[in-house]
Amino acid sequence: MLEIIGLALIGVALGTVTGLVPGIHVNTVVLIILSVLPALLTRFPAHSIAGLIVAMAIVHSYVDYIPSIFLGAPSEDSVLSVLPGHKLLLKGRGYEAVQLTVIGGVGSTILSLVMLGLVLAVLPTLYSRIIPLVPYLLTTVIAYMVLVQNRSRWLWAAIAVMLSGVLGIIILELGVINPGKALFPALTGLFGISTLYMSQRTILKIPVQHITSTPVEYGKGVAIGSLAGLVSGILPSLGPSQSATIIQSLFKSGGDEKEFLVAMGGVNTANSLFAFLALYLIERSRSGASIAVKEILSPLSQTDMLFIIGVTLFTTFFAAALTLKLAKTAAAHVPKINYRKFSTATIIFLIALTISLTGLKGLLILITASAIGVFVQAAGVNRSTCMTVLMIPTILYFLS
């Protein structure tokens, strides 16, 4: 038991690092663990190692929002939080933005476990029926994303969809570079650097951040986030970002920004949880971390599923507390920095990180994606249209 708790706490620490540092993903650590797995199994019980991986993935799903909101450096899972999160940051409410994602994460964990019995009863039957509908659902969402714009911007929205979709096909289908690595420069350009660049033109300083929160009806956000997390955790090739795009279409007005952040926190955490539970529910792995757990514990039993749930509940407390503490620290220091210099330094850091991770081809992807992101903002189009960089390749995957 002590070994399980000890390794779970190591997982908490690793998840904090992967969440805070842009470009370092849970899958990177998972690959290292798998490479030395035989040696680890001679020293530690299999459940201890699996617990470490589960804890790391859960904590990452919370901490991941801090660089996304405070730095504008998104990962695939937190990318859409840049948009409303950045708005709140510039109103002095960056901490509140992170707090809302934590509320969503904790709420979705509880709700997901409450509805687990229902999921167990209906999922095996529904799974095979839902799969063929995915490309048509995504196509409908893309059409909706264009039509919901002001009519005068339909053409610009359609161009944004086309440009982002073509970029996605090039990097994910044509294999210009490793698809797993290609997402970092693509998403950083579309949502990170483009946002920093456009904000830099009008913002001289990040306002003082207030460690307060305003009331929010979070029930809707938690419910939608949990459902979207279930969908992305179960269905192949449909990740949190695609589910989040569907979520965003349900929060059209600016007044819904806070509920949207709750939903985003919910989808990320619920996706991490259901990606593990899918090993038992449908005997499929849906993430790098779940693949590792499958290799360690296969075949997954009901006892193993209960163990994963236990580690998730144990880890959730640390994840929420750590994220809020780190967000307070970030909120205290970020306003002291000249925004123009800070955003320039962040852009340089992201460019350097892109080159180190993906080389010159990755830099070309970053430049292209940044140009698309700037175009979308200059045209006054909703930036969620850029998520077709993932959605269109997903549609092609299912149709093939």
Region 327-338 average pLDDT: 84
| Percent above pLDDT 70 for the chain | 87
Does residue 21 sit within a domain?
A: yes
Region 40-60 average pLDDT: 91
Partners of 205 in the beta sheet?
Answer: 338
Q: Mean pLDDT lowest for which of 42-51, 54-63, 129-138?
A: 129-138
Average pLDDT, the chain: 82
Does residue 221 sit within a domain?
A: no
Does residue 372 sit within a domain?
A: yes
pTM: 0.76
Asked if 224 and 250 touch (Cβ cutoff 8 Å), the reply is yes
The residue among 250, 242, 243 whose CA lies nearest residue 226 is: 243
Does residue 274 sit within a domain?
A: no
The residue among 219, 318, 232 whose CA lies nearest residue 273 is: 232
Does residue 223 sit within a domain?
A: no
Does residue 178 sit within a domain?
A: yes
| Chain center to CA of 102 | 13
Does residue 215 sit within a domain?
A: no
| Overall domain count for the chain | 1
Region 199-212 average pLDDT: 72
Does residue 216 sit within a domain?
A: no
The residue among 247, 184, 229, 130 whose CA lies nearest residue 389 is: 184
Highest mean pLDDT pick, 102-116, 192-206, 337-351:
102-116
> Residue 240 pLDDT > 60, yes or no?
yes
pLDDT tier, 254 (very low <50, low <70, confident <90, very high otherwise): very low
Residue 205 or 8, more confident: 8
Highest mean pLDDT pick, 178-187, 265-274, 322-331:
322-331
Region 282-308 average pLDDT: 80
> Residue 258 pLDDT > 70, yes or no?
yes
Domain that holds residue 65: 2-102+150-207+283-399
Q: ∠ CA(141), CA(144), CA(148), 5° rounding?
A: 145
The sign of the torsion formed by the CA atoms of 396, 147, 200, 255 equals: negative
CA distances from 168 to 241, 248, 339 (A): 13, 20, 31
Phi-psi region of 92 (alpha: psi -120 to 50; beta: other; left: phi over 0): left
Asked if 64 and 268 touch (Cβ cutoff 8 Å), the reply is yes
Q: How far apart are CA 283 and CA 269, in angstroms?
A: 20
The residue among 397, 89, 59 whose CA lies nearest residue 242 is: 397
Asked if 350 and 191 touch (Cβ cutoff 8 Å), the reply is no
